[in-house]
């Protein structure tokens, strides 16, 4: 019966309105969460999830141009450490340093982006993997600035004081941080979404499908790839800087090899084809281990189980559950012939 | 609405929003399996600090289990004590043993009658959260314990980066934290962390006793090379070490730093041995690291003595191998020795009865919780502020190692260290050998 | 200074052989099947644990238990290939997620079962060999010898035997190889079994030299990936060269720099090489 319901084929207009309606409802729910949920612990989980959603969406932006970067957490680290050091050592206000951190991350991406355009596809992934680990170790080496294992004492966001209208303190106030990060995330996602559906986004997709054909039409492949990397790293650095001023302490291992791979995994399990895939994937993988924390050392089994189920039953990612007119759940009994799949 | 796929997401969100509050509070009734006391009334004795929302108490669904007349006379309350241990990740091998030791203490303490304050009896319950051997995990675990369970006493992490990370949660919420160790960095523990206490002897505390023993047993010993993890501690430990070495007439060659994530520690050991020291000194690390370094040192031909801080000699022997476990000194208990205090002997008996085996790390985990309960009893209150004020005024405190003293003002700027006598244990020819009790000076 | 050049050279050889042994299985799978088998680290760890279980808990002869562990893990390779690799032939993304899932699941299970016991295997050949100012533990020397023998065997296997030639053919063009009548599934099973067996051997030997814990695979995996990518896809003999380079970097640099700095230098060297020659030092042209 569920299958029948899923096969309902409605007109395009109705589906579009349904999508908009659902979007608005979800948005409303997100804004109302702190009203319903009072325990700061749950707000903490949501804040972390939203921060990682920004990072994974920016990773997808980079991946749009055919470069799957397995070292993306390192750019989050650059933004985080830059913002933290600027705020802590130089006393700048976090509202400014968050933006500066993102800019530093983008500059770094620009610096290494051009040499990296020499390598494509799989080789780019490998080079980015090593680059990510190198950046993390570089952070450890620069202990004078970053503190060997942790950069502590990062100031939280300064309070917003507009006399007469609003006064918000951020110290130890999870709800304030939640709204802040939610607004930032919505702005970032809106920007990335519009970028993806703009001419630049189309150019990226063209490059990723065939860089030779794209070059033959006059597209400067390296410029667009560096642009993708820069945009992706800007938002990753932004999210990292927000993380720094929320968490108040930074450790290099948060941004190392395994976290980078997990970011790619969140994106893949969520679904590479859709913009909302990474959002879904990240939300599931950040929220589920926290919700099921009571399983103590058995919790990773649940995460592994989800990964196995998704990879077998939903080849295009979890977001394919919402696709229309596509085979939803693939049959696992068919004998698989050797074939080239996208 | 018949557009099912989109509604599925909506429904999931709504269901989660409803399930979240009940999900966490229902876990409180699941008590630890090793306690012999039957299910207690899970009444939270502490309320969240004023900064957080006041409806927290209302939103936690009170799933209580009525206690049969199991407690003696009045209905006993439960005092929850949080425990930040790594149950997954590289540190889990040793930290799980710490948790086992704490559970032993919980059983023993409740059987002894628990805590009684002003006629109200309390049973303690250790609530452990996995800190996953990462700073993020420690912060998340601390968030869960403090903000979700509303716990006000936490027996804290061991490694510096986890201590710093969990401190960002426990300090602002005025949660009394008893760390198990510290590496002398001011971010972990110092004047900025007024609610943190240290209940085991730490990196700086072992320097003098080790050097004294060096002079006593190895009069020809002149030069020492130190191997320390790159965890932020060396800039603070090195000056103290150098100064004490000069006082004792010994020479510190250098501090060689190794990475906690290194695969093979032999190159670092080789670098340490290149200056031909008479003795090696290992500061901090777990048996998986120290054992490897001891093995590498012996295999590179070093025959001099090796001194360590607090490691479990038995675990080190497991990792280093029997043929390499010689001339190694550490400050931890010798299980077979008759010179152990009666309290330690009781722990050994309990461990063998409950787990069928004994590990020296159980005592290391037991001791901080025991000290915390001493302080709470002395303060006659379960308010962390009162306990903190009482504890820092205490001069002496009973520990399982003997009588301990409170100190630390001159070194750390805060009087929150418990200094207890430490047991010097050695590995000689693959055997764990008892040396003696050493008095640890006040930091 | 006291650092003997000869001692350093010996250390380089020993460390390289450890890395090469670990990377060999990984290289075979990457070359033949085009699969980045992240689960290699976990198989390596499980091999070590099975060897421990047989040798220490059941008391069998340690060499025999190493061979037995290799056989057991090799058989597990059949299962791995059939259910974890074959359904995802051609889809690198899903294979990657699957191997990551395997890492998570197996590490957690091993941690639950035996995680708290800190241990390492007793030495296969106890003792230290000293001579001419050099001292090297017998275990590491034995690992070096076994590593050299296995590497030579693998290279001979690929070059001289029919199966090896088929593997080469598949690695160059799998569709073309299939058209020539090569049974892709059979060859991929063989390759997986061989790779898992190699991982188990290195796990057992390494457990005696280093230590045994559920998480030893993580750091070794990064080294294996570095070596294999530096060597290049499609080149098994290149693993030797890349292993030597990495072993040299990792042995010599810690003598002068601190731990994190050696990693940075090593990785920068690798990245530079890759930027100029993305297919690796000995790999095929892309």
Q: Does A169 touch chain B (CB under 8 A)?
A: no
Instruction: Tell me the mean pLDDT in the region B241-250.
Output: 88
Instruction: Tell me the mean pLDDT in the region A77-99.
Output: 89
What would the DSSP string read from start to end of B90-142? TTHHHHHHHHHHHHHHHHHHHHTT-EEETTEEEEEEEEEEE-TTSHHHHHHHH
Supply the range of the domain harboring residue A284.
Answer: 2-341
B245/B309 same-domain check: yes
Domain count, chain A: 1
Rounded to a whole number of angstroms, the CA Rg of chain B reads: 23
Q: Predicted confidence band at B3 (pLDDT cuts at 50, 70, 90)?
A: very low
CB contact under 8 A, B24 and A39: yes
Helix axes A257-270, A72-89, angle to 10 degrees: 120
Answer whether residue B62 is part of any domain.
Answer: no
Instruction: Tell me the mean pLDDT in the region A152-180.
Output: 76
Supply the range of the domain harboring residue B132.
Answer: 76-202+338-420
B273/B352 same-domain check: no
Amino acid A252: pLDDT: 86
B224/B167 same-domain check: no
Q: Predicted confidence band at B10 (pLDDT cuts at 50, 70, 90)?
A: low
Instruction: Tell me the mean pLDDT in the region B206-223.
Output: 88
| Burial class of residue C165, CB neighbours in 10 A (0-12, 13-18, 19+) | middle
Amino acid B2: pLDDT: 39
Residue B197 has pLDDT above 60, yes or no: yes
B174/B259 same-domain check: no
Q: How far apart are CA A174 and CA B139, in angstroms?
A: 14
What would the DSSP string read from start to end of A251-305? -GGGGSHHHHHHHHHHHHHH-SSSTHHHHHHHHHHHHHHHHTGGGGGGHHHHHHH
Amino acid A305: pLDDT: 93
Closest residue of chain C to B258, computed from CA coordinates: C259
Among A283-292, A325-334, B30-39, the least confident range: B30-39
Classify residue A166 by its DSSP letter. Answer: E
The residue whose two tokens read 């930032």 is: A184
Name the E strands within B141-294. Answer: 153-155, 176-179, 196-198, 223-229, 251-258, 279-282
Q: How far apart are CA B329 and CA A200, in angstroms?
A: 65
Residue A326 has pLDDT above 50, yes or no: yes
Q: What is the percent of chain C where pLDDT is above 70?
A: 98
Q: Predicted confidence band at C5 (pLDDT cuts at 50, 70, 90)?
A: confident
Interface with chain B: mutation pick from C134, C138, C210, highest number of B CBs within 10 Å = C210
Amino acid A54: pLDDT: 95
CB contact under 8 A, C211 and B319: yes
Q: Does C286 touch chain B (CB under 8 A)?
A: no
Q: How far apart are CA B152 and CA B385, in angstroms?
A: 10
Residue A162 has pLDDT above 80, yes or no: no
Supply the pTM of this predicted model: 0.85
The residue whose two tokens read 């993380």 is: A243
Amino acid B234: pLDDT: 85
Amino acid A266: pLDDT: 93
Name the E strands within B156-315. Answer: 176-179, 196-198, 223-229, 251-258, 279-282, 306-307
Q: Name which residue leads in pLDDT, A147 or C204.
A: C204
**B282 - beta bridge partners?**
B227
Q: Does A170 touch chain B (CB under 8 A)?
A: no
CB contact under 8 A, C251 and B267: yes
Answer whether residue B5 is part of any domain.
Answer: no
Instruction: Tell me the mean pLDDT in the region B303-323.
Output: 87
Amino acid B99: pLDDT: 92
Q: Nearest by CB to C261, from A131, A141, A272: name it.
A: A141
Interface with chain A: mutation pick from B25, B85, B136, highest number of A CBs within 10 Å = B136
* A window 100-129, beta carbon within 8 A of C: 115-116, 118-120, 122-123, 126-127, 129
Q: Does A196 touch chain B (CB under 8 A)?
A: no
Residue B394 has pLDDT above 90, yes or no: no
CB contact under 8 A, C115 and B92: yes
| Burial class of residue B230, CB neighbours in 10 A (0-12, 13-18, 19+) | buried
Q: How far is A277 from chain B (nearest CA, A)?
A: 13
**Do B125 and B110 touch, CB atoms closer than 8 A?**
no
Closest residue of chain B to C117, computed from CA coordinates: B93
Highest average pLDDT, of A77-86, B21-30, B211-220, comes from A77-86
Q: Does C255 touch chain B (CB under 8 A)?
A: yes
Q: How far is A342 from chain B (nearest CA, A)?
A: 25
Q: Predicted confidence band at B410 (pLDDT cuts at 50, 70, 90)?
A: confident
Q: Name which residue leads in pLDDT, C87 or A308.
A: A308
ipTM associated with this complex:
0.88
Q: Does A14 touch chain B (CB under 8 A)?
A: yes
CB contact under 8 A, B268 and C254: yes
Q: What is the CATH number of the domain that holds B376?
A: 3.40.50.2300
Q: Quickly list H helices, chain A.
A: 2-6, 12-36, 40-64, 72-89, 94-116, 121-141, 143-146, 174-196, 199-209, 211-216, 221-247, 257-270, 276-291, 299-313
Write out the two tokens for B198: 């240290």
Q: What is the percent of chain B where pLDDT is above 70?
A: 83
B219/B257 same-domain check: yes
Instruction: Tell me the mean pLDDT in the region B9-37.
Output: 45
CB contact under 8 A, B172 and A172: yes
CB contact under 8 A, B144 and A36: no
B178/B248 same-domain check: no
What pLDDT, in 10s, does the model give residues C125-139? 877 777 777 778 888
Q: How far is A289 from chain B (nearest CA, A)?
A: 11
B213/B328 same-domain check: yes
Task: Count Cβ atoms below 10 Å from residue A277 Cβ, excluding itself.
Answer: 25
Q: Does C113 touch chain A (CB under 8 A)?
A: no
**Do B413 and B392 touch, CB atoms closer than 8 A?**
no
Q: Nearest by CB to A41, from B2, B144, B230: name it.
A: B144
Amino acid B54: pLDDT: 36
Q: Name which residue leads in pLDDT, B134 or B28.
A: B134
Instruction: Tell me the mean pLDDT in the region B375-382.
Output: 89
Task: Count Cβ atoms below 10 Å from residue B433 Cβ, excluding itself.
Answer: 16
Instruction: Tell me the mean pLDDT in the region B257-261.
Output: 81
CB contact under 8 A, A137 and C286: no
Q: Which residues of chain C lie closer than 8 angstroms to B321, CB-CB?
A: 120, 122-123, 126
Q: Nearest by CB to A249, from B8, B135, B140: name it.
A: B135
Interface with chain C: mutation pick from B100, B259, B263, B293, highest number of C CBs within 10 Å = B263
Amino acid A105: pLDDT: 94
Amino acid A168: pLDDT: 73
Closest residue of chain A to C98, computed from CA coordinates: A308
Q: Nearest by CB to C219, from B88, B263, B295: name it.
A: B263
Amino acid B57: pLDDT: 37
Answer whether residue B398 is part of any domain.
Answer: yes
Q: Nearest by CB to C108, from A269, A272, A300: name it.
A: A300
No. of H helices and E strands in chain B? 14, 16
Q: How far apart are CA C166 and CA C159, in angstroms?
A: 10
Q: How far apart are CA B339 and CA B168, in angstroms?
A: 41
| Burial class of residue C132, CB neighbours in 10 A (0-12, 13-18, 19+) | exposed
Q: What is the mean pLDDT of chain C?
A: 86
Residue B281 has pLDDT above 80, yes or no: yes
Residue C149 has pLDDT above 50, yes or no: yes
CB contact under 8 A, A150 and B187: yes
CB contact under 8 A, A5 and B4: yes
Amino acid A143: pLDDT: 77
B388/B306 same-domain check: no
Answer whether residue B81 is part of any domain.
Answer: yes
Q: Predicted confidence band at A101 (pLDDT cuts at 50, 70, 90)?
A: very high
Q: Does C165 touch chain B (CB under 8 A)?
A: no
Answer whether residue B272 is part of any domain.
Answer: yes
Q: How far is A205 from chain C (nearest CA, A)?
A: 18
B234/B141 same-domain check: no
Q: What is the percent of chain C where pLDDT is above 90?
A: 27
Q: Does A178 touch chain B (CB under 8 A)?
A: no
Instruction: Tell me the mean pLDDT in the region B28-55.
Output: 35
What pLDDT, in 10s, does the model give residues A4-61? 655 555 566 777 788 888 888 888 888 888 888 878 888 888 999 999 999 999 999 9
What pLDDT, in 10s, does the model give residues C18-73? 899 889 989 988 888 888 889 999 999 999 999 998 888 888 888 899 999 999 99
Using DSSP's 3-state secondary structure scheme, residue A63 falls into helix
Amino acid B22: pLDDT: 42
Q: What is the mean pLDDT of chain B?
A: 80
Q: Predicted confidence band at C103 (pLDDT cuts at 50, 70, 90)?
A: very high
CB contact under 8 A, B173 and A172: yes
Q: Which residues of chain A lie closer than 8 angstroms to B51, CB-CB?
A: 172-173
Q: What is the mean pLDDT of chain A?
A: 84
Residue B6 has pLDDT above 80, yes or no: no
Chain B positions touching chain C (beta carbons under 8 Å): 88-90, 92-94, 96-97, 100, 230, 257-259, 261-264, 266-268, 270-271, 273-276, 286-288, 291-292, 295, 298-301, 315, 318-323
CB contact under 8 A, A301 and C105: yes
* A window 38-57, beta carbon within 8 A of C: none
Residue B37 has pLDDT above 60, yes or no: no
CB contact under 8 A, A311 and C263: no
Amino acid A48: pLDDT: 92
CB contact under 8 A, C118 and B267: no
Residue B53 has pLDDT above 60, yes or no: no
Amino acid A9: pLDDT: 57
Closest residue of chain B to A257, computed from CA coordinates: B261
Q: Does C190 touch chain B (CB under 8 A)?
A: no
B135/B83 same-domain check: yes
B306/B432 same-domain check: yes
Angle at C271 between CA C269 and CA C274, to 5 degrees: 110
Amino acid A34: pLDDT: 82
Q: Nearest by CB to A38, from B59, B129, B187: name it.
A: B59
CB contacts < 8 Å between A and C, how many?
A: 121
Among A31-40, B8-17, B115-124, B374-383, the least confident range: B8-17
**B407 - beta bridge partners?**
B417
Domain count, chain B: 2
Q: Predicted confidence band at B28 (pLDDT cuts at 50, 70, 90)?
A: very low
Among A259-263, B26-30, B287-291, C41-45, the least confident range: B26-30
Question: What's CA C230's distance to the chain center, in Å?
Answer: 14
B259/B330 same-domain check: yes
């Amino acid at each position: 019966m569920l299958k029948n319901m899923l096969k309902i084929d409605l007109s395009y207009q109705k589906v579009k309105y349904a999508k908009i309606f659902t979007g608005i409802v979800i948005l409303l729910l997100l804004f109302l969460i702190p009203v319903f949920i009072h325990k700061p612990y749950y707000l903490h989980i949501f804040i972390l999830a939203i921060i990682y959603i920004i990072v994974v969406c920016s990773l997808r932006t980079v991946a749009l141009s055919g470069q799957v970067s397995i070292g993306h957490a390192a750019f989050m680290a650059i933004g985080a450490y830059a913002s933290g050091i600027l705020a802590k050592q130089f006393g700048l206000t976090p509202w400014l340093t968050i933006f500066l951190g993102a800019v530093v991350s983008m500059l770094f991406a620009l610096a290494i982006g051009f040499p990296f355009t020499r390598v494509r596809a799989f080789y780019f992934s490998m080079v980015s993997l090593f680059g990510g680990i190198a950046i993390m170790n570089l952070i450890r080496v620069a202990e004078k600035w970053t503190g060997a294992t942790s950069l502590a004492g990062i100031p939280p966001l300064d309070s917003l004081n507009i006399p007469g209208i609003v006064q918000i303190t951020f110290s130890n106030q999870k709800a304030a941080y939640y709204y802040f990060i939610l607004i930032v995330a919505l702005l970032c996602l809106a920007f990335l979404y519009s970028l993806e559906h703009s001419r630049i986004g189309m150019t990226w997709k063209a490059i990723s499908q065939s860089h030779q054909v794209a070059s033959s039409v006059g597209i400067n492949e390296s410029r667009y790839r560096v642009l993708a990397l820069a945009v992706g790293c800007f938002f990753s650095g932004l999210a990292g800087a927000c993380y720094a001023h929320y968490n108040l302490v930074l450790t290099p291992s948060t941004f190392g090899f395994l976290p980078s791979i997990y970011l790619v995994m969140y994106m893949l399990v969520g679904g590479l084809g859709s913009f909302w895939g990474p959002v879904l994937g990240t939300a599931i993988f950040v929220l589920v281990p926290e919700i099921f924390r009571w399983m103590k050392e058995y919790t990773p089994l649940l995460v592994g189980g989800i990964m196995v189920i998704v990879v077998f039953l939903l080849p295009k990612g979890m977001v394919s559950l919402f696709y229309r007119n596509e085979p939803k759940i693939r049959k696992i009994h068919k004998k698989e012939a050797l074939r080239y799949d996208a | 609405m018949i557009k099912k796929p989109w509604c599925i997401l909506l429904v999931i969100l709504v269901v989660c929003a409803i399930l979240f509050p009940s999900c966490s509070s229902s876990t409180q009734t699941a008590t630890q399996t090793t306690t012999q006391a039957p299910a207690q009334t899970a009444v939270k004795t502490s309320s969240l600090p004023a900064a957080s929302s006041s409806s927290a108490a209302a939103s936690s669904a009170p799933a209580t289990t009525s206690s049969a007349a199991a407690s003696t006379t009045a209905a006993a309350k439960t005092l929850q004590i949080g425990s930040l241990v790594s149950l997954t990740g590289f540190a889990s091998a040793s930290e799980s043993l710490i948790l086992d030791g704490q559970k032993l203490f919980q059983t023993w303490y409740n059987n002894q009658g628990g805590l009684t304050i002003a006629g109200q009896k309390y049973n303690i319950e250790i609530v452990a959260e996995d800190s996953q051997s990462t700073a993020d995990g420690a912060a998340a675990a601390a968030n869960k314990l403090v903000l979700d369970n509303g716990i006000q006493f936490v027996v804290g992490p061991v490694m510096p980066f986890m201590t710093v990370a969990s401190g960002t949660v426990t300090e602002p919420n005025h949660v009394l934290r008893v760390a198990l160790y510290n590496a002398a960095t001011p971010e972990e523990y110092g004047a900025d962390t007024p609610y943190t206490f240290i209940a085991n002897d730490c990196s700086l505390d072992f320097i003098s006793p080790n050097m004294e023993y060096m002079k006593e047993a190895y009069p020809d010993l002149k030069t020492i090379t130190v191997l320390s993890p790159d965890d932020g501690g060396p800039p603070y430990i090195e000056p103290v070490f150098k100064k004490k070495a000069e006082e004792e007439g010994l020479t510190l060659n250098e501090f060689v730093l190794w990475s906690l994530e290194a695969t093979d520690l032999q190159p670092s050991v080789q670098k340490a041995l290149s200056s031909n020291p008479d003795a090696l000194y290992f500061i901090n690390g777990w048996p998986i690291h120290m054992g490897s370094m001891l093995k590498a040192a012996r295999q590179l031909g070093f025959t001099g003595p090796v001194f360590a801080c607090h490691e479990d000699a038995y675990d080190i022997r497991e990792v280093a191998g029997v043929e390499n476990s010689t001339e190694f000194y550490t400050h931890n208990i010798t299980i077979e020795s008759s010179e152990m205090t009666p309290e330690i002997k009781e722990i050994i008996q309990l461990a063998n009865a409950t787990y069928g085996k004994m590990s020296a790390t159980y005592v290391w985990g037991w001791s901080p919780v025991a000290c915390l309960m001493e302080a709470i009893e002395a303060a006659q209150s379960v308010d962390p502020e009162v306990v903190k004020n009482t504890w820092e005024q205490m001069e002496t405190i009973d520990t399982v190692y003997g009588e301990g003293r409170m100190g630390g003002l001159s070194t750390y700027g805060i009087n929150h260290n418990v200094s207890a006598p430490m047991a010097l244990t050695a590995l000689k020819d693959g055997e764990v050998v008892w040396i003696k009790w050493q008095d640890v000076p006040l930091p | 200074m006291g650092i003997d050049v000869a001692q350093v050279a010996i250390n380089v050889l020993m460390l390289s052989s450890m890395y090469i042994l670990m990377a060999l299985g990984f290289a075979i799978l990457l070359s033949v099947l085009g699969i980045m088998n992240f689960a290699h680290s976990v198989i390596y760890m499980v091999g070590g644990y099975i060897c421990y279980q047989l040798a220490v808990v059941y008391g069998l002869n340690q060499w025999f238990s190493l061979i037995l562990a290799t056989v057991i893990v090799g058989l597990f390779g059949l299962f791995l290939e059939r259910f974890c690799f074959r359904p995802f032939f051609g889809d690198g993304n899903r294979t990657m997620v699957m191997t990551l899932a395997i890492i998570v699941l197996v590490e957690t299970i091993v941690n639950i079962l035996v995680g708290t016991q800190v241990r390492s295997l007793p030495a296969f050949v106890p003792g230290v060999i000293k001579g001419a100012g050099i001292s090297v533990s017998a275990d590491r020397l034995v690992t070096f010898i076994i590593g050299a023998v296995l590497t030579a065997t693998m290279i001979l296997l690929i070059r001289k035997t029919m199966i090896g030639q088929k593997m080469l053919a598949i690695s160059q063009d799998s569709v073309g190889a299939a058209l020539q009548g090569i049974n892709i599934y059979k060859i991929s099973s063989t390759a997986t079994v061989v790779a898992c067996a190699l991982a188990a051997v290195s796990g057992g030997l390494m457990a005696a030299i280093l230590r045994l814990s559920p998480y030893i695979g993580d750091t070794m995996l990064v080294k294996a990936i570095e070596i294999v990518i530096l060597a290049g896809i499609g080149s098994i003999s290149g693993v030797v060269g890349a292993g030597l380079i990495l072993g040299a970097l990792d042995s010599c640099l810690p003598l002068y720099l601190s731990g994190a700095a050696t990693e940075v230098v090593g990785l920068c060297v690798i990245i530079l090489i890759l930027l100029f020659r993305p297919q690796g030092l000995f790999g095929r042209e892309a």
